[in-house]
């Protein structure tokens, strides 16, 4: 079994990042000097993927443009002898064979994957969510491909999350197979407390056998009235043909403001071009916050002392 195709669903509205995502696809929001989706495509390519389908929606033209040649810009860079910048912009058009299909209605992740049916055909394929950037020594998608090949089954990326967080993800029922790999027995999307199987949740990466398309075609709308990929994966679990990989990588969720800012700061601190400046800037900011808190605390102490010295009630039951 070889996995040479990948699907990146990128049709969502990005409502958690409004108003920026009113006109900019959330996948195009910059993480330092590259848009989020650039890192996703890099991971796919590093995992041996050759053909990538991006599932887009209305207002997502920036995705097409980013992975295309830009003759006017390239000519300008060429005239300016900016060869490094020229190589950089041409590289984005040559990273992989990328094509597109539009999800005409936003009907859920399961439906977005189903839109890739003609592209995938009868081959196994990877799915990489554009919100999740993974940082590790080995690409997470490659970790899943290796497990899928070994067990001749679909594979999903999973990690343990807190009990508080599990309600926002899915919960896997699992049985151990080997270190870091489990047989997925069942899964429930956004479980209520009484339906939590485990604290292992599926997080943004999948390698799926083409049988998933027949399952999705017959999957009714689930949570939120949408066709949920997790509901289709539940059917795979119950047929005994899915494993879960506790992947070795740090996951960054760029789909919400806190996660996005964390990602930008972390990646900037890993960039030798900006790390010295940013570290100095943050150090000065933190020092400023500490001094501000100290001054505020001292002012409060002095105010309380001044108030007590003028005979105000200090709360001890006596009037001074």
pLDDT for residue 149 is more than 50: yes
The pLDDT of residue 316 is 46
Summary mean pLDDT of the chain: 88
The domain tally of the chain equals 2
Residue 207 falls inside a structural domain: yes
Indicate whether 106 and 243 sit together in one domain: yes
Indicate whether 166 and 38 sit together in one domain: yes
Indicate whether 288 and 224 sit together in one domain: no
Look up the pTM and report it. Answer: 0.86
The pLDDT of residue 299 is 58
Identify which of 164, 250, 241 has the alpha carbon closest to the alpha carbon of residue 203. 250
What range defines the domain where residue 307 resides? 272-311
In this structure, of 15-29, 211-225, 244-258, the range with the lowest mean pLDDT score is 211-225
Q: Where are the beta strands (DSSP E) in 118-189?
A: 125-128, 132-135, 154-160, 170-178, 181-189
Contact 62, 24 (CB under 8 A): yes
The pLDDT of residue 166 is 92
Indicate whether 194 and 278 sit together in one domain: no
Indicate whether 161 and 245 sit together in one domain: yes
Residue 319 falls inside a structural domain: no
Indicate whether 217 and 231 sit together in one domain: yes
Indicate whether 207 and 289 sit together in one domain: no
In this structure, of 247-251, 252-256, 297-301, the range with the lowest mean pLDDT score is 297-301
Residue 317 falls inside a structural domain: no
Q: Kindly report the CATH number assigned to the domain that includes residue 171.
A: 3.90.550.10
Indicate whether 216 and 87 sit together in one domain: yes
The pLDDT of residue 300 is 59
Q: What span, in angstroms and rounded, lies between the C-alpha atoms of 3 and 34?
A: 26
Residue 289 falls inside a structural domain: yes
Residue 53 falls inside a structural domain: yes
Mean pLDDT of the region 138-142: 97
Mean pLDDT of the region 25-48: 95
Indicate whether 239 and 204 sit together in one domain: yes
Indicate whether 128 and 215 sit together in one domain: yes
State the DSSP H helix or E strand holding residue 154, giving kind and residue range, or none if neither.
strand 154-160
In this structure, of 46-50, 55-59, 70-74, the range with the lowest mean pLDDT score is 55-59
Q: DSSP code of 239?
A: T
Residue 316 falls inside a structural domain: no
Indicate whether 251 and 278 sit together in one domain: no
Phi and psi at residue 142, in whole multiples of 5°? -65, -40
The pLDDT tens digits for 123-133 are 999 999 988 99
Residue 320 falls inside a structural domain: no
Q: What span, in angstroms and rounded, lies between the C-alpha atoms of 279 and 269?
A: 7
Indicate whether 256 and 290 sit together in one domain: no
Contact 152, 255 (CB under 8 A): no
Residue 201 falls inside a structural domain: yes
């Amino acid at each position: 079994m070889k996995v040479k195709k990948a699907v990146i669903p990128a049709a969502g509205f990005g409502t958690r990042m409004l108003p920026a995502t009113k006109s900019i696809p959330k996948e195009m929001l910059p993480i330092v000097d590259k848009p989020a989706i650039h890192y996703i495509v890099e991971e796919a390519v590093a995992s041996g993927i050759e053909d990538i389908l991006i599932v887009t929606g209305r207002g997502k033209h920036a995705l097409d443009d980013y992975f295309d040649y830009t003759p006017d810009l390239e000519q300008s860079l060429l005239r300016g002898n900016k060869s490094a910048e020229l190589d950089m912009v041409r590289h984005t058009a040559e990273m992989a064979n990328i094509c597109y299909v539009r999800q005409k209605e936003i009907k859920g992740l399961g439906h977005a994957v189903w839109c890739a049916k003609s592209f995938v055909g009868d081959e196994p394929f990877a799915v990489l969510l554009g919100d999740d950037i993974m940082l590790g020594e080995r690409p997470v998608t490659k970790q899943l491909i290796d497990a899928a090949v070994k067990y001749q089954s679909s594979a999903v990326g999973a990690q343990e999350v807190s009990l508080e967080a599990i309600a926002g993800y899915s919960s896997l029922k699992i049985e151990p197979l080997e270190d870091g790999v489990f047989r997925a027995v069942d899964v429930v999307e956004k479980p209520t407390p009484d339906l939590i199987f485990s604290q292992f949740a599926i997080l943004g990466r999948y390698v799926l056998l083409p049988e998933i398309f027949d399952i999705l075609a017959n999957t009714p709308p689930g949570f939120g009235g949408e066709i949920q990929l997790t509901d289709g994966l539940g059917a795979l679990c119950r047929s005994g043909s899915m494993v879960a990989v506790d992947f070795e990588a740090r996951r960054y969720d760029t789909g919400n403001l806190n996660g996005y800012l964390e990602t930008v700061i972390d990646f900037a601190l890993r960039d030798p071009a900006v790390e010295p400046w940013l570290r100095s800037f943050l150090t000065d900011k933190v020092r400023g916050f500490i001094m501000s808190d100290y001054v505020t605390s001292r002012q409060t102490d002095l105010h309380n002392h001044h108030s007590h010295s003028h005979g105000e009630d200090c709360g001890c039951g006596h009037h001074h």
